[in-house]
Chain A
């Protein structure tokens, strides 16, 4: 297990693709891991205190990581625990393993993730499980759980896996969705624009696009794109 602690408050964002693979290296090597601090390439050890405890494949990010981007990007196994909040693109392209965020998560949480699990104890910002601009497919597998609220654009172009939001969410839920499930326990805004397939379940109030057809216990659409997506109450 590796414990990583920020030495200072960061003036600009840090871009650090920290994955549990780091835990397999010795502390000296980890300290030399290259990250961007603004436009400068620096070594991880210059910005963070690093200690090693035991050999399990686990990272503990101890402190405020809200200005650290790309944590857990492309990780395929092991575990990351963020004791505070985390910056944008956390868990992007993730293929396996688990990320637990005890604080809040910024934009692009689990963007285009393929497998694995992300749990956010606080809130998440916008673009959870979405496709990056221009790409055809967002999240395609795995699970994202948000205990608090989430922002706009949830699961855009999502093709598989599950996003569960215990609180409320913003507008544009499951836009252009092609598969998978989104569960929102609270309220949210517009749902299902250009949805082709998949399922959205909502506990509270929401606004449906007018292009959905009411069936027995659900709405099916978006008819605008001959979609067969399902929106229903929890």
Chain B
């Protein structure tokens, strides 16, 4: 195996380092990007990238790729498991239509030039399961975000306005779950679901606790910022999937107003498409994307991701258990409810997005509106896999954002409802290739707080994708089919300096790192010990048996702060 690579004559786009489609060479040694001088005298493999696009490997900051939710989805959807993607030989057996098996997830990311993906909702008590599954995904670097927004400990400390203890608890929980950051799903709403209800605004009181969603969100932001975690609070808003919810979303975004951080946002609001509906029922529903975009563009400390639906099969799976029940009632599809003790819950419902269905077409249009109307430095491209559809269709979203002509063609195929309920037909914006690369690489890396990811500067991880696309010649407005095809299958996918896939064929397998954040050095762990001991009487496991030890993970990467 070569220790060093020389990627020659490629046309590089590297937004973080200000490289805008320049012909240049990239050098790789020992899994890192290095100066040319470093590879002198080495056994260098040269890759000719003449007239090809060379970018950093894609970073998917929000997908559901491991844990009890996706696994329950697999169990309850045997029909998803009839697409054979790879028969076991040199590589593992891989099956799945949209819900993929663990190896298939790694392989499909690799074929597309993506090299990192983050599991966006880890039930803390299911941490071991989540990590077992993450360890079964080859090819990519990964991490998991445990959910905090309905955890009784969080409610207690927010109720007591004890930020120090909340910080300590977060540090304890991240260490125990080997988690990366603080995910919040429908704060307070899932606890209300334990009594069959939900919350309807930021100021509803959570049953059994004297706290409101507003207080939970602001306290968690304060605690995360004081701890200086890599990633900010990662929020799935209240009232998801309810017409009229865009107002709650805007109110929530504005909660970040009182906080600041020099390096990154202080609040990331996820899959906003599902939280951008105006109107007061499914009959009067319309897009609230423009209002959200106005708010987003006026704030400089909040980021979002799209949650773009893709027409075809999907499976809704979120920690937002009450929403999943509403969806089940709405569509009549199968439903599974998950309970994670005093931490929250989850639900799973199969789904299919149909272009002629007015609501589905509206959701599709809203996702694109958000992607187009919000400043490219604040919106990340996601499908909230598998809620909005497969991540393998990211190239479709990329091409759509870059071409009005492509959107016009697609608009003809969908329900005419979008013409009056959204502004998508009137939007002329076409994102540039550089913006799209930023939205899929450097921006998610910055939002997650991973300085070694998402760019090609010296010292970065050698995660590189080469596409058959010449940015100096391509007309992204008109050649959208070529753009789609090029991004669908990377000519080369390189992970930590190893060539994993070539023209859609897997050539090598590697096991990526699992990042986790250790903030225990910043707090006094003794402070919450009596509380933990006291409260674990409500758990089905003993305190000493709770959590995941680092040595149980295949390739843990501890980030100490």
Contacts and interface: CB of A to CB of B under 8 A. Distances in A.
Nearest to B80: A134
Contacts of B80: 134
Contacts, number: 10
Contacts of B79: 132-135
Contacts of B76: 134
A32 to B, nearest CB: 20
A35 to B, nearest CB: 16
Contacts of B77: 134
B78 interface: yes
A132 B76 CA distance: 13
A41 B1 CA distance: 34
Interface string B519-545: 000000000000000000000000000
* A132, A133, A134, A135: residue with the most chain B Cβ atoms closer than 10 Å: A134
A135 B79 CA distance: 6
A194 to B, nearest CB: 11
B96 to A, nearest CB: 13
Interface string B65-93: 00000000000111110000000000000
Contacts of A133: 78-79
A135 B76 CA distance: 11
A133 B76 CA distance: 9
A133 B79 CA distance: 7
A195 to B, nearest CB: 15
Contacts of B78: 132-134
A171 to B, nearest CB: 22
Nearest to A134: B79
A109 B450 CA distance: 55
B379 to A, nearest CB: 35
Nearest to A131: B79
Contacts of A134: 76-80
A135 B78 CA distance: 8
Contacts of A132: 78-79
B482 to A, nearest CB: 36
A134 B76 CA distance: 7
Interface in A106-146: 132-135
A136 to B, nearest CB: 9
A72 to B, nearest CB: 19
A41 to B, nearest CB: 10
Nearest to B332: A225
A54 to B, nearest CB: 37
B352 to A, nearest CB: 10
A111 to B, nearest CB: 13
Given A133-B78, A134-B80, 8 more contacts: A132-B78, A132-B79, A133-B79, A134-B76, A134-B77, A134-B78, A134-B79, A135-B79
10 contacts: A132-B78, A132-B79, A133-B78, A133-B79, A134-B76, A134-B77, A134-B78, A134-B79, A134-B80, A135-B79
Lowest 5 CB-CB distances: which A-B pairs, in order? A134-B79, A134-B78, A133-B78, A135-B79, A134-B77
